[in-house]
Structures are given as structure tokens and as C-alpha cells.
Amino acid sequence: MTSPSSPPPGPPPAASPPPKRGGPNKGLLVGVVVIVAVVAVGAFLLGRRSGSSDSGDGTSTPLVAGGKSENEAQVEGLPEPTTADMTVPDNAAPEAFWVDVLHPAKVRDAMASNTWLRSQLSQPLGKGFVGGWAAFLGSTGEDLKGGFNGAVLDLLVGKLGNAPFRVMWFAGDARASTPAFIVPEAKESMLTAFNVLDAVAKRGTLVAKTCPGGSPTSVAEGFEVKRWLVAEQTLWAGKSADRVVLARHPVAVLQGLCMESPKLEPEDGVDVEVGLYTELLGRDSQLLGHVLGMGPLTRLQFGVEGERLVGKGIAGELKEGVTHLDTAPLSDELLKLVPEETPVLFAVQLKLPETLNTETLKAFWESGGKGPTRTRQVAVVWTPRGDSSLPQDVALVWGRQEDATSLQVLFSGGTRQVVSATVCKHVVLASSEAELSALRATCEGKKPSLLNAAGPVVAGLREPGSVVVGVNLGRMLSGLTMDGYLSEARVGRNAPMPKTVPPEIEAARRDLESLPYLGLRGTVRGDSLVPGGFGS
């Protein structure tokens, strides 16, 4: 995934924000968006299920059909397994964000029965997504001469992933930035599956005598991190008394073994949850959390309802005694201004000083939000790009026209040049004239606005909320696919922009554009956000 730059933050505090902490780059913010997109792809897949696969006997539906894989795994002539001491990082990498699958059988069986998903795996879109892992995951026990039936994917997901699990991304050490698949409270069946695959795929072992940072491991002899090799693809794996961890890099596995065991305790109706520590996701995210008065942990929640995976909302704690967020519906003036095709919308009801200028903002932040305030409806309209060299399409939409002069002063002097205008009773600060023109055309009725979106989407946007995130998955993923293709087409070449796009790219974009709209909402109640969701 190529990560575009983050959109401009909300109004910058005149007083210094919290000190910057080490962490991954701004691209991780895009990673969170993509995680939401991936989860919501499941919403689309669940919505197209051909029928329930629950047999009622506790068995799970295979995700890969039986039989030999197209690229059969070769087991002859592989090097003999070796054992060596592992070089352990000097510092532990903190947890940045993660995805918890709290009811994996419920989600997996629904997706496994989906005709659309099965057909896409044989199309360019599916093949490109799976890539070189198709041979690894599709290799069977017969291919590997192992003691199991079916495909490796069925073994991994059907056994190792048959209990709640977490996919964790760590900050800090770049070697640990690849995600770690963590199954806490590993059952006997999972440990058996681990041992079965280890017996046929192990091609090396690294022994870590300590955890990153020098703390001792939970076992005296140290953790063993195994290198599994199937069909020329490497996966690292480790286990302890209470968990199983898989990752693409051994350091990520070690981090997963050494971290405090995650407690996966689902709330009612929540089947999948994305958790993120905003202070570890870069300067922009840290500043945004400070401005909103959010606590360190924010959770995006999803649930399986019938045949669909739906947004349940945004949950999180607010800083004690801080009331920077208000509650109100998004106005029709704002919905009239935002194009219906906008990939990502982020909107907040933000309490700020009655009079907005540098001095009042400074006093406001220093006092912890005390004094007379007025609620401003603020939105970011953003088109993520799949190539960092492309210009950014982002606009800040401010709901109070009287603040126009103050905003010009607050956002002047930075490295980001913006164009501004008052459109549909909102002050707009845009990254380019083209972005500003698109919003103006929407306001004038020349382009469809969010008021023309699907009825459930419009109704959800009109519900009272404090923080709202709307993702038009079809538009976002289709655009990223096109950006990625053009980026690859021009790598290392002095070639003009292609006049035509290969039919497989157009087909992939059409399939992606049929994905739904996903909406998440958090509403202030006391010192926390109460989640709510909507979508098409």
C-alpha cells in the first residue's frame, strides 16, 4: 500500500500540543482507513452471500476447495532446518493499532459461502490481492506430505483462527511494522495444527533469549521463532503457553509473544473491532486527538447482522474534564456541498472560543477548554491517493462564515499552500483549485452531492453525532487501484500517460465500485463516545 499524505488537521492550537512521540509515519493513518476498507469489503461479501454455511455440527466451511493447487508446493531438495540465536531489538515496539476478530467462525463461514468472493479469486482482482500467497495457502496436506487434509489456509484459519484473534501492527522498530497474527488463549486443537504445519514446513529456528528491550521471556529457555517455507513463501511462527503468533518478520512474532496477552472480550453486537492509539500514529493524528480531547485509545466497531457486516460506530474515552466535542446532526448545507463520490468524509462538532483568534485559542487550550464557546461544524473531504507523487485532493470545510478571516491567519505561513472561498455558507480551504471547483460545482447542483446518496446514508449523516467518519469504499478503492496501475506503468520509464487502461484494470474497478458506503459515528455521553453506525 502506498500512503498519501494526511489531510490538513483541524485548527492548530496556539499553545504547544503534547510532545511528539516516536512512531510510524503518517501513512499509518491511511493504513487505518484501508483496514476499515478491508473490513467493509467483508460487508459487501456478506451482503452477496449465496446462503448460510452453518452445518450446526461445529464444523467450518473450507475457504479453499480441496485438490492440488495450481502451483503445487515442492518439498524435495529443501535445505535442512537450522537453529541460531536471534538478534533481539534494543527497544520494545509499542502497540499502534490492531484488528480484533471476535467471532471468527461467524465471519469466516459467511464469507466462505459467498459466490462473488469465490469467483473473484479466479479473476485479476482476486489474483492480484492474493499474489504469491496463493500457492502457499492453497497447498494441501497431500502436496506437503503432511499429516493433514485440505489446504494450508483451511488449517490456519479453521484451527488457528477458530477462536478470537488479533492482527496487530507495532510502532517503532521498522522490522516489527509488519502485522502479527495473534491467537491468545490457544486451544489444544490450535497447538496441534501448529505442530502439524511446523513438522512439514519448518526450515529454520531462531531462539530469542530475551524480549525486545532486554526483559526476560516467559520461558527460561527463550522463545523459539520458526521459519516456515511453502511454495517459496516464508512465514514466521511462534507459540507460548497462552498464544500462537504468525508474521512475515521474526521480530514481529517476538513482539507478539512478549506483549501482554490481549483480552478479547466482545461487547454485545460487536464482531470485529479496530483499535488505534492516536498518539502513536504520527504528529497529525496526535494533534487531532489533542484538539478533540480524545483519550489515547479509539475503537472502530463492526458487527455481523444477517448477511452483512455493518458499522457499529466509534467508541473511546475522552480526556477527563475535557469537553471539546458537542453533539449535532450534519447540516443539509454541508451535505449539499460535499460531492456524493467523496471517498472519505471526516466531520466533527467542535467547541471553540466564541471569538476565534490566536489569543483566544491560546487561552482556551491553556485553560482546558474553559470560557464561552461556540460549536463549529468542521469537515475534511479527502481523496486518498495510491501514489505519493500525485497531488493531494483534500479540503477543510468550516461551518461558520464569520471565522473566514481568522482561518486565513491561522493557516497562513505553512508549507502547505491552500486556496479558499466561501461556498454554500461554509468556508472552504482546499489543496487545489480543482478541489475547490469540485465543491463549488456540487453546491451549484452541477454534480451529485451527499444529499443524493442512498437513503440510509443520508439518514445516518443526519443523525446527531459528535464524530462522523464516512467511507465510500467503491470510490476509494477504485481510485487507489487506478493510481496504483498508473504508478506501476510509469516506473522507470519516460513514457506518456497511458491512453487506455487494460480491460482487467477496468473490470477490477467496476467490481470495486459496487462496494457499499460505510458510516461510523461516535456521540459524546459523559466522558466517552457512544458508538453508532450506518451505511448503504
pLDDT tens readout for residues 401-417:
998 888 888 777 655 67
- The pLDDT score that the predictor gives to residue 473 is 87
Q: All 3 cell numbers of residue 329?
A: 446532526
Q: Using CA atoms, how far apart are residues 60 and 40, in angstroms rounded to an integer?
A: 22
252-291, pLDDT tens digit by residue? Answer: 999 999 988 888 877 788 989 998 887 666 666 767 777 7
**Residue 472 pLDDT grade (very low, low, confident, very high; cuts 50, 70, 90):** very high
- The pLDDT score that the predictor gives to residue 160 is 61
Q: Using CA atoms, how far apart are residues 50 and 456, in angstroms rounded to an integer?
A: 24
- The pLDDT score that the predictor gives to residue 45 is 35
Half-sphere exposure (CA, 13 Å, Cβ side) for 233? Answer: 19
- The pLDDT score that the predictor gives to residue 408 is 82
Q: Using CA atoms, how far apart are residues 396 and 236, in angstroms rounded to an integer?
A: 43
| Complete DSSP assignment for 414-426 | SSS--EEEEETTE
Q: Using CA atoms, how far apart are residues 304 and 311, in angstroms rounded to an integer?
A: 9
Q: Whose grid coordinates read 502497540?
A: 95
Among 146-155, 242-251, 452-461, which stretch is predicted with the lowest mean pLDDT? 146-155
| Cβ partners under 8 Å of residue 443, min gap 6 | 336, 337, 423, 424, 449
**Residue 522 pLDDT grade (very low, low, confident, very high; cuts 50, 70, 90):** very high
- The pLDDT score that the predictor gives to residue 61 is 36
DSSP state of 164: -
Name the percent of the chain lying above pLDDT 90.
27
Q: Using CA atoms, how far apart are residues 437 and 175, in angstroms rounded to an integer?
A: 43
Provide φ and ψ at 408, rounded to 5°: -60, -40
368-396, pLDDT tens digit by residue? Answer: 767 788 999 999 999 988 877 777 789 99
**Residue 79 pLDDT grade (very low, low, confident, very high; cuts 50, 70, 90):** low
Distances from the Cα of 297 to the Cαs of 96, 501, 521, in angstroms? 10, 42, 16
| Complete DSSP assignment for 428-494 | EEESSHHHHHHHHHHHTTSS-BGGGS-HHHHHHHTS-BSEEEEEEHHHHHHHHHHHHHHHHHTTT--
**Residue 492 pLDDT grade (very low, low, confident, very high; cuts 50, 70, 90):** low
Residue 6 has pLDDT above 70, yes or no: no
Per the CB < 8 A criterion, the answer to whether 343 and 479 are in contact is: yes
**Residue 523 pLDDT grade (very low, low, confident, very high; cuts 50, 70, 90):** very high
Q: Using CA atoms, how far apart are residues 524 and 319, in angstroms rounded to an integer?
A: 12
128 Ramachandran zone, left/alpha/beta (phi>0; psi -120 to 50): alpha
Residue 464 has pLDDT above 90, yes or no: yes
Average pLDDT of the chain? 77
Crossing angle for the helix pair 503-513 and 473-489, to the nearest 10 degrees: 160
**Residue 468 pLDDT grade (very low, low, confident, very high; cuts 50, 70, 90):** very high
**Residue 531 pLDDT grade (very low, low, confident, very high; cuts 50, 70, 90):** very high
**Regarding beta strands 272-277 and 95-101, do their DSSP bridges make them parallel or antiparallel, or are they unpaired?**
antiparallel
Per the CB < 8 A criterion, the answer to whether 384 and 32 are in contact is: no
Per the CB < 8 A criterion, the answer to whether 78 and 203 are in contact is: yes
**Residue 493 pLDDT grade (very low, low, confident, very high; cuts 50, 70, 90):** low
Q: What is the mean pLDDT of residues 153-167?
A: 75
- The pLDDT score that the predictor gives to residue 129 is 65
**Residue 161 pLDDT grade (very low, low, confident, very high; cuts 50, 70, 90):** low
Distances from the Cα of 174 to the Cαs of 177, 178, 365, 523, in angstroms? 5, 8, 34, 35
Residue 512 has pLDDT above 70, yes or no: yes
- The pLDDT score that the predictor gives to residue 319 is 81
Provide φ and ψ at 279, rounded to 5°: -70, -10
DSSP state of 191: H
Q: Using CA atoms, how far apart are residues 483 and 350, in angstroms rounded to an integer?
A: 34
Domain ranges of the chain: 69-93+102-258, 318-489+501-535
Residue 435's identity, in one-letter code, is E
Question: What does the chain come to in residues?
Answer: 536
pTM for the complete prediction? 0.77
Provide φ and ψ at 489, rounded to 5°: -65, -25
- The pLDDT score that the predictor gives to residue 455 is 94
